[in-house]
Amino acid sequence: MDITDHLRCFLQSQPPAGRYLVAYSGGLDSHVLLHALSRLGLNLAAVHVHHGLSPNADLWSEHCLAVCKELGVPCRVSRVQVTAAGNGREAAARAARYAALELALGEGEMLLTAHHQDDQAETLLLMLLRGAGVAGLAAMPPLRRFAAGWLARPLLDLPRDALRHYAQAHGLSWVDDESNFDTSLDRNHLRHDLLPRLRQRWPAASRAMARSAAHLAEAKELLEELAAADLARSGGSRPGTLSVAALGQLTPARRRNLLRYWVRGQGLPLPDSVHLHRVEQEILPARPDAEPHVAWPGAEVRRYRDDLHALAPPAPVPAAELPWTADAPLALSDGRILVAVPAAGLGLSAARCAGARITVRFRAGGERCAPVGRGHSHELKKLFQEAGVPPWERERVPLLFVDGVLAQVVGYWICEPFAAAAGEAGLDCRLADIASRDENNDNCPGPRA
């Protein structure tokens, strides 16, 4: 089947898109993809990411613009800055590239990349050598959600030779990125040194490895379905948490499968096997009154009572007292915003706050509050325990003081005698960090204050 016909069949089997956007590097693979798609009469555009890493980068951009002009395809050049981080320049360039592609993709559009069968084989081998699990060994899916639309890889079933034959048959010209021949990079070492030797002995090696990746993708889908079912039966007392008791009813393999699925569902980086083992060995069997936690870059898992929590490492809270006039939002150092909304009969009494010194603090220990309706004061620690607020959340709750006296525990309680009476002008003081508390079904089990 001709590549153009292959693409037509592929796109007909995928969700419809308002526009197709080709990730166009100027190399052979993406040029073939762009050229073949341009023959299908689609609403087509291209984006070229200028990494600025090669002295030839400007020439490549000019080449891409010229090719797109000849094909009648709109082309956008996105310049990015690549800063090598812990995973090296190659990973940093990839992250910058996909960030640019994400910005270029509109609602309901489909990004098309030119990854092919040999790329899939390389990815499988890399994942295997890194000790990846089923999800990693499933390699690259042909279609997945991406930004506001989709990311599709329509050439995964075709070998690199098929693309080269197409390019030669149509007289295409392309650019060669010199970094693709640097065999000190793992993928290039596989491509130029290892895979050719494998194909000498097993000519169909790439096709066989791509087939294995497809089998593993099916296994991954089944594991995710199992995890979703287990998640529905293992929820904790608060949204987004897991019940430690319920986890204890699962077999170890099934429990680890659920933990990975749950962490990924929170939008957090997955733990490696060492940290996952620590969650099982250190957190799950801990005493309910203990406060164990296991952290890895970008995420941590904590336990409070029977609930297991997965969260991003919180930003530190201010140590100093913050003055606040309450007539303008107060930006906290961790990105949250404190606002005071005028409201009759709600929040703090506006009369008591008028002319008073209002300050914002965070827990130092020993604070007391007499919540409205309770009649007498209680230690804040006891109130938080009664409300089931995990210890790491308590230290992040803003405390409003009026002339040095605790008046409100934001998100939880108004303290006597500062509550606005029915019909009285009040100040409804609350956090306004993009309404995250409401979107998370409100982590506060007590009355909102």
pLDDT at 175: 93
Mean pLDDT calculated for residue range 38-50:
96
397: closest CA among 412, 407, 386, 387? 412
pTM: 0.77
CATH number for position 282:
1.20.59.20
Rg (CA), the chain: 28
Number of domains in the chain: 3
Last residue of a domain, one of 276, 311, 346: 311
Q: Does residue 438 carry a pLDDT above 80?
A: no
Cβ(40)–Cβ(7) below 8 Å: yes
Same domain, yes or no: 346 and 280: no
Q: How far is CA 89 from CA 94, 124, 219, in A?
A: 9, 21, 32
pLDDT at 53: 85
Same domain, yes or no: 150 and 278: no
Q: Does residue 436 carry a pLDDT above 60?
A: no
Tell me the per-residue pLDDT of 79-125, one tens digit each, with 9 for 90 and over: 988 876 656 777 888 888 999 999 999 999 999 999 999 999 999 99
pLDDT at 433: 52
pLDDT at 83: 76
Same domain, yes or no: 79 and 193: yes
User: Is 217 part of a structural domain of the chain?
Assistant: no
Same domain, yes or no: 192 and 238: no
CB atoms within 10 A of CB 401: 20
Report d(CA 261, CA 183) in Å as an integer: 35
Structure tokens at 226: 């199992």
- Domain residues for 425? 322-431
Last residue of a domain, one of 286, 311, 336: 311
Same domain, yes or no: 9 and 53: yes
- Compare 318 and 292 and report the one with higher pLDDT: 292
Name the 3-class secondary structure at 342: strand
User: Is 356 part of a structural domain of the chain?
Assistant: yes
- Name the band, by pLDDT with cuts 50, 70 and 90, for residue 1: confident
Report d(CA 305, CA 322) in Å as an integer: 33
Report d(CA 427, CA 326) in Å as an integer: 8
Number of helical (H) and strand (E) elements in the chain, helices listed first:
17, 21
Q: Does residue 445 carry a pLDDT above 80?
A: no
Q: How far is CA 252 from CA 217, 247, 256, 281, 292, in A?
A: 22, 9, 6, 11, 20
pLDDT at 106: 94
User: Is 143 part of a structural domain of the chain?
Assistant: yes
Tell me the per-residue pLDDT of 190-206, one tens digit each, with 9 for 90 and over: 999 999 999 999 999 99
According to DSSP, the β-strands at 149-152 and 242-243 are: unpaired
Cis check for the bond before 417: say yes or no (omega within 30 of 0). yes
pLDDT at 87: 64
pLDDT at 316: 81
Question: Which stretch of 35-39, 164-168, 181-185 has the lowest confidence by average pLDDT?
Answer: 181-185
Q: Does residue 292 carry a pLDDT above 70?
A: yes
Same domain, yes or no: 328 and 278: no
User: Is 110 part of a structural domain of the chain?
Assistant: yes
Looking at every residue in the chain, the average pLDDT score rounds to 90
User: Is 139 part of a structural domain of the chain?
Assistant: yes
Same domain, yes or no: 63 and 146: yes
Question: For residue 21, which phi and psi values (nearest 5 degrees)?
Answer: -115, 120
- Name the band, by pLDDT with cuts 50, 70 and 90, for residue 290: confident
Same domain, yes or no: 114 and 168: yes
pLDDT at 449: 47
Question: Which stretch of 40-44, 245-249, 374-378, 427-431 has the lowest confidence by average pLDDT?
Answer: 374-378
User: Is 226 part of a structural domain of the chain?
Assistant: no
Same domain, yes or no: 263 and 384: no
User: Is 219 part of a structural domain of the chain?
Assistant: no
Q: Does residue 159 carry a pLDDT above 80?
A: yes
Tell me the per-residue pLDDT of 385-408, one tens digit each, with 9 for 90 and over: 999 999 999 999 999 999 999 999
Mean pLDDT calculated for residue range 209-227:
95
CATH number for position 157:
3.40.50.620
pLDDT at 85: 60
User: Is 62 part of a structural domain of the chain?
Assistant: yes
Same domain, yes or no: 271 and 408: no
Phi-psi region of 388 (alpha: psi -120 to 50; beta: other; left: phi over 0): left
Question: Which stretch of 81-95, 145-159, 303-317 has the lowest confidence by average pLDDT?
Answer: 81-95
Same domain, yes or no: 156 and 73: yes
Same domain, yes or no: 202 and 248: no
